[in-house]
């Protein structure tokens, strides 16, 4: 494992290893046990897209691992504004021990990894969000005690979060059903890749336009914002299209008893889910958010240690 660019790049053993290490690091930090596995190491964090959870969790994670982090916003770095990705990768490789990048194009992340000589972590692109998917499955494991044999239903936009969740479920042997409106479904190549992986782990991938079909028999229900960064001009149209996909008590009733609710945040109450869902006892969104810290520490320790 040299980088974390997308979930499908990981072997099943690497995927499971990250979750086990995250569990260990979480238990240790809760017990007050220091683990300075990256003492003296530096992580550069490139942000072309703003963030709350990504920045805070990576900065705190590096601190807890004994290393240092350096925040680089789009106004601090020349990437995409005259300097090539090739040159940026070569220069940063001379200064840093790892790079986390949160940006638009997946190709920028791939090129940083290709041309640089240090590990690259995808903090989010328009196509993938691997750190989020790891945190999500870790949260499901904590609350359900297992992964293999469960069913996760995703309702909403077939976006980067849906892509990485689908790939993660295929790796972990979790049945995955995604319901999106026509024209907003997941990319066909990512779906096909997940289906092929799912055959190896014995789970199913279902793509549908029917939210009830997706949620029926689910052990966990997931949704995300209908209007991602850069889509603000489409807001009114998207609200109209996605309102039938709102996660509410009526839709939740089709899931298995004890089904948990997940959301990667930020959440827009009254839109993708109702308040009585996100604030319910079965909602694990804040455990899920906390787990970004622990899984990202596991990723950094594995790549940079």
- Read off the pLDDT of residues 109-151 as tens digits, 9 standing for 90 and up: 999 999 999 999 999 999 999 999 999 999 999 999 999 999 9
Please give the Cα distance from 277 to 249 (Å, whole number): 7
d(CA 46, CA 101): 5
Tens of pLDDT along 21-76? 999 999 999 999 999 999 999 999 999 998 999 999 999 999 999 999 999 988 88
Same domain, 119 and 109: yes
In a domain, 171, yes or no: yes
Confidence (pLDDT) at 81: 66
d(CA 225, CA 223): 7
Task: Note whether 139 and 57 are same-domain residues.
Answer: no
Whether cis (ω within 30° of 0) applies to the bond prior to 266 is yes
What domain range is 117 assigned to?
7-129+289-304
Q: How many helices (H) and strands (E) does the chain have?
A: 12, 9
Q: What is the pLDDT of residues 268-301, one digit of tens each?
A: 999 999 999 999 999 999 999 999 999 999 999 9
Q: How confident is the model at residue 50, as a pLDDT?
A: 85
Catalytically annotated residues: 102, 129, 132, 224, 264, 292
- In the three-class reduction of DSSP (H, G, I as helix; E, B as strand; rest coil), residue 12 is classed as helix
- In this structure, the answer to whether residues 251 and 271 fall within a common structural domain is yes
pTM passes above 0.85: yes
Task: Identify whether residues 118 and 219 lie together within a single domain.
Answer: no
Residue 229 maps to a domain:
yes
User: What is the spatial distance between Cα 158 and Cα 164, in angstroms, rounded to a whole number?
Assistant: 10
Measured in whole angstroms, how far is the alpha carbon of residue 172 from the centre of its chain? Answer: 15
Look up the CATH number of the domain holding residue 22. 3.40.50.1370
Structure tokens at 90: 């070569």
Distances (CA, A) of 176 to 66, 132, 252: 37, 16, 16
Query: Is residue 2, in this structure, part of any structural domain at all?
Result: no
Q: Looking at the structure, tell me whether residues 282 and 151 fall in a common domain.
A: yes
282 and 196 share a domain?
yes
Long-range pairs for 231-235 at CB < 8 Å and ≥24 separation? none
Are 249 and 296 in a shared domain? Answer: no
Residues 156 and 268 both lie in one domain? yes
């Amino acid at each position: 494992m040299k980088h974390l660019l997308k979930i499908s790049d990981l072997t099943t053993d690497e995927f499971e290893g990250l979750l086990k290490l995250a569990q260990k690091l979480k238990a240790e930090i809760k017990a007050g046990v220091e683990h300075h596995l990256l003492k003296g190491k530096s992580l550069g964090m490139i942000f072309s897209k703003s963030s709350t959870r990504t920045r805070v969790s990576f900065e705190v994670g590096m601190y807890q691992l004994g290393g240092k982090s350096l925040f680089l916003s789009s106004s601090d770095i020349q990437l995409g504004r005259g300097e090539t990705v090739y040159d940026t990768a070569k220069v940063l490789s001379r200064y840093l021990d790892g790079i986390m990048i949160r940006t638009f194009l997946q190709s920028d992340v791939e090129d940083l990894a290709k041309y640089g000589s240090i590990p690259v972590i995808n903090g989010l692109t328009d196509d993938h969000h691997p750190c989020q998917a790891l945190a999500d499955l870790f949260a499901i494991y904590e609350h359900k005690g297992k992964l293999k044999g469960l069913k996760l239903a995703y309702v909403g936009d077939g976006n980067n979060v849906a892509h990485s969740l689908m790939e993660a479920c295929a790796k972990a042997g979790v049945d995955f059903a995604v319901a999106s409106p026509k024209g907003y479904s997941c990319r066909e190549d990512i779906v096909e890749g997940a289906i092929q992986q799912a055959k190896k782990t014995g789970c199913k991938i279902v793509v549908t336009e029917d939210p009830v079909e997706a949620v029926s028999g689910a052990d966990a229900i997931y949704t995300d914002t209908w209007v991602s960064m850069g889509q603000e001009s489409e807001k009114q149209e998207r609200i109209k299209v996605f309102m039938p996909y709102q996660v509410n008590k009526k839709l939740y009733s089709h899931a298995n008893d004890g089904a948990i609710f997940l959301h990667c945040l930020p959440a827009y109450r009254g839109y993708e889910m109702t308040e009585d869902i996100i604030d319910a006892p079965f909602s694990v969104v804040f455990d899920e958010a906390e787990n970004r810290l622990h899984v990202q520490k596991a990723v950094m320790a594995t790549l940079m240690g």
